[in-house]
Amino acid sequence: MKLIKNAAGRMVPDVVNGIESIPYKGINGHKPDGRNYGGPIRSCADYPADGNKVVPGLKEALIKAGIKDGMTISTHHHLRNGDVVTNQLFDIIHELGIKGVRWFPSASFPCHEHLIPYLEDGTIHHIEGSMNGPLGRYTSYGKMKGLGVLRSHGGRYQSVQDGEVHIDIAVIASPTADPFGNANGVSGNSACGLIGFALADSEYADRVIVVTDNLVPFPCIPWQIQGNNVDYVVQVDSLGDASKIVSGTTEVTKSPDRLLIAEYVAQFIEDAGLMKDGFSFQAGAGGTNLAFVLYLKERMKAKNVKARFVRGGSTKYLVQLLEEGLTDYILDGQTFDLEGVRSMRENPRHINTSPFTSYNFHGKGNFASIVDVAVLGATEVDVNFNANVVSHSDGLLLHGIGGWQNCLFSKCTILAIPSFRDRIPVIVDDVMTLCGPGELIDVIITERGIAINPLRKDLLECVKNSSLPIKEIGEIKSEVERICGGKPALPTRDLNEPVAVVKWVDGTVLDSVFKVIE
């Protein structure tokens, strides 16, 4: 393995976990020339004619699926920090004496700290997937045997579809399922709304195990996961802690600074002429984002403007937009609260989407680039509008990419961020880890001013008469440095030792996360 400089000027390994990798070549620079992965052709002759694929337990299912050393095992993260299935899964894998697993979650959460001993003892060789919290911290210090590989939701789908990652066994925790393997997230004690992050896994894994705590008679409707792709079904008492799977309720921020940011965002969208009949926007579940939705809603009502669709992660605030007739549809990729789950279950206009429909860059288009406005966060942004979402200025890998990279393709991408956090500037000379190229980031909105990417002359023109505090990004940065007493302190890192890589949406390597010296 050697480090080479990619088209973004970042040093990235030429080989990742033994596989030759392609350095980032620019936003649209990489032209794929292979073929989509095609799994082994199966035959109904090898499956139960009565459609009953239930086996006594997860251990039996793993053994039937032929688990062995070095396999790639995938899970999804719709159960978020309430997931107990993944921990049980690796307890069993450990008990079976299996070693060297590549764990391919769509994301990991603090609850998965339980798996650190399995990283230590070689049960898990390395993790490819977002690492939120403890596992990311562990990886940052160079303790994981292999390199972490961070992908966006769309990049994860792309990697599986393209055959870049071959999943041996997918384990799909399913709040409701039938014995044939049809499954959904809308019902049951562990309802999480939808389970689209497991779609690629169900379509492309050699063996697919559905685990459910709510087994219903065939047919399980809707079948967000199709039983025709499933090998085994396992019934368990509980998938996890429902209170940690979705929030009972989600709350907007109470911070005056964050509320100011949210107000600026809503005003920007209106002043820039983006808020018009039939428009669309994406909003996440952070407190600032929720506040922005409320402010924008008031502006929409005042101007009698209706959206064609809004994209979630859904919350009660998006559901209210739908139920009050302010949008025709919610196109939802994950539900964050109970109202989101209820709405998806009951409202035919609250639509289940997947990384395939929304984010896969190696398809014939996707939804992300159709969206008029995406309002996103970031841990850092630099004077060239490059942004970071996985680490902070301390170099520690603590967050996943999610759909963030994919959403950058919207017609107007706004980063709504505080100018500093814990007295550390968020606007910097050069981001610690490059996750999103500046060319795709159009507007930075902070409590201290709004910076528009000079590439977007059209937006600059649109808001030239606005009362908004439009500034140069360097001006905001200088102001923040004055307040914070200078630039962020840099951590000690070993720049010859990458511990993880950040993939671009096309599978190329955009940047490295380097080992932090404790």
Whether a cis peptide bond, with omega within 30° of 0, leads into 256 is no
DSSP assignment of 447-458:
TTEEEE-TT-HH
| Tokens at 50, concatenated | 């009565």
CB of 44 to its own copies, least distance (A): 5
Tell me how long the chain is.
518
CB of 5 to its own copies, least distance (A): 23
Round to whole Å and give the CA distance between 289 and 268: 14
Nearest CB to its own copies, comparing residues 292 and 356: 356
For residue 509, count CB atoms less than 10 angstroms from its CB and return exposed for 0-12, middle for 13-18, buried for 19 or more.
buried
Query: What's the DSSP call for residue 224?
Result: S
| Tokens at 300, concatenated | 């929409």
Q: Are 140 and 491 in contact (CB under 8 A)?
A: no
One-letter amino acid for residue 104 of the chain: F
Torsion of Cα atoms, 448 then 454 then 456 then 462, to 10°: 60
Round to whole Å and give the CA distance between 134 and 409: 30
Q: Are 488 and 428 in contact (CB under 8 A)?
A: yes
CB of 198 to its own copies, least distance (A): 15
Residues near its own copies (CB under 8 A) are 28, 30-45, 47-51, 53, 161-163, 180-181, 208, 217-219, 221, 223, 226-231, 278, 308-309, 329, 331, 348-349, 351, 356-357, 360-367, 369-370, 409, 411, 506
CB of 35 to its own copies, least distance (A): 4
Nearest CB to its own copies, comparing residues 2 and 364: 364
Nearest CB to its own copies, comparing residues 32 and 57: 32
Q: Are 31 and 62 in contact (CB under 8 A)?
A: no
Nearest CB to its own copies, comparing residues 31 and 254: 31
CB of 8 to its own copies, least distance (A): 17
CB of 64 to its own copies, least distance (A): 13
Nearest residue to 183 via CA among 170, 196, 200: 196
CB of 210 to its own copies, least distance (A): 11
Nearest CB to its own copies, comparing residues 170 and 428: 170
Nearest CB to its own copies, comparing residues 266 and 371: 371
- The residues, ordered by sequence, that sit 6+ positions from 464 with a Cβ below 8 Å of its Cβ are none
179 DSSP β-pair partners: none
Nearest CB to its own copies, comparing residues 181 and 449: 181
Round to whole Å and give the CA distance between 62 and 69: 12
Nearest CB to its own copies, comparing residues 141 and 329: 329
Nearest CB to its own copies, comparing residues 34 and 256: 34
CB of 515 to its own copies, least distance (A): 33
Nearest CB to its own copies, comparing residues 181 and 333: 181
| Angstrom distances, CA of residue 253 to CA of 5, 262, 314, 495 | 40, 9, 16, 38
CB of 89 to its own copies, least distance (A): 20
Torsion region of 262: left, alpha or beta (phi above 0 gives left; psi -120 to 50 gives alpha): alpha
CB of 90 to its own copies, least distance (A): 25
